[in-house]
Amino acid sequence: MLLALTQARILTGTKDITGEALLLENGRILGLVNENSIPSDYYIIHHPGMTIVPGLLDLQIYGGGGVLFSDAPSSAALYEMAAGLVKTGTTGFLITLATNKLDVFEAAMDVVKNNPHPAVLGLHLEGPYINPVKRGAHIADCIRKPERKEVEALLKRADGTVKMMTLAPEMCTPDILQLLLDHGVVISAGHSNATFTEAMAGFGAGIRTATHLFNAMSPFHHRDVGLPGAVYQSGAFASIIPDGIHVSYEALAISKKIMGERLFLITDAVEKSEGAYPHVRQNDRFTLPDGTLSGSAITMAEGIRNCVQHAGIALEEAVRMATVYPAKVMGYKDIGAIRAGYRANLTLLDEAGNNGGVYLDGQFTF
């Protein structure tokens, strides 16, 4: 189908455009033309008052649509979660699994492998190779020290579905890190009590990013700046949760000024559950029954709005933090920007910054 989207502001990831039409052809982006030069065979759709941005990407999210995927991984859970998230403006995401029994990981791998969905980009395993001192809400009994044979078996079972893994660099040998890298896994440092020196060694060994900056990691102290300091100094990327709860908006703003394009957004969102992770909704967040903070309650579109309203980040840059930069972390070549040849994954934001509809491979959903 040939579509022309008009009367909207368009943030491509590099440019801020008005007065032009965005042309879509068979689920791909063809390009931009003046609104007075739309070819006659295109079906025109007006989006007045909307800002069209690249489809939002979330590299760490546990649930959506009322489903916490790890409770019972299945095709039904995957499709229900994906449908719920797409409606919020997120067109690409990594289904995330916290530290758990290995058979839960294996079940999730099988489901993702056998049930492709255009918004599901793969799995992010947050654990089990983390530091128990910084486990946060993770299940203590399931935390493990990585052994090569076990990691090899997991990667074989995954068959390419595991795209990212969060681990504590001080708990892993260079051999384990290299094994993951050899299988195309993006490694993220998190749930770690690493010193600055240990963290820098991990980044030097190929760890590319860090998970939810400041949360569940060694603190930034003036005598040992720990993992946060290593993130600042190393040139690594880091994700951050923009809900004003996991980190203050001041910490978000300061980190943005230091890191620039290396800081990107995740939601770390969960859903209510009575399973291994009994998340309880507390108005603006999720906790475990004992009050431990266990996940956010925001959407990615809300995270962008929070960056603009509370952290002094311009809309164009906040959008890049949820599109261009996570795509760069993962090496995606056809999503994360509005560019000719890219998938027609687009999110519409209204004047208040709310999600106003989504195009997923050129198909509109609201």
In angstroms, rounded to a whole number, what is the distance separating the alpha carbons of residues 364 and 106?
33
Residue given tokens 């394009």 in the structure block: 261
In angstroms, rounded to a whole number, what is the distance separating the alpha carbons of residues 106 and 196?
34
In angstroms, rounded to a whole number, what is the distance separating the alpha carbons of residues 241 and 251?
11
Q: Which helix (H) or strand (E) element contains residue 57?
A: strand 56-61
Q: Tell me if 70 sits within 8 A of 101, measured CB to CB.
A: no
- H-only helix segments in the chain: 75-86, 102-114, 148-158, 174-182, 196-204, 226-234, 249-259, 300-310, 315-321, 324-330
Catalytic positions: 268
The token duo for 182 is 């050899």
The three-class DSSP label of residue 261 is: helix
In angstroms, rounded to a whole number, what is the distance separating the alpha carbons of residues 10 and 22?
8
Beta bridge partners of 54: 346
Q: Three-class SS string for 278-314?
A: CCEECCCEEECCCCCEEEECCCHHHHHHHHHHHCCCC
Q: Tell me if 240 sits within 8 A of 252, measured CB to CB.
A: yes
Amino acid at 288: L
The token duo for 112 is 């993702």
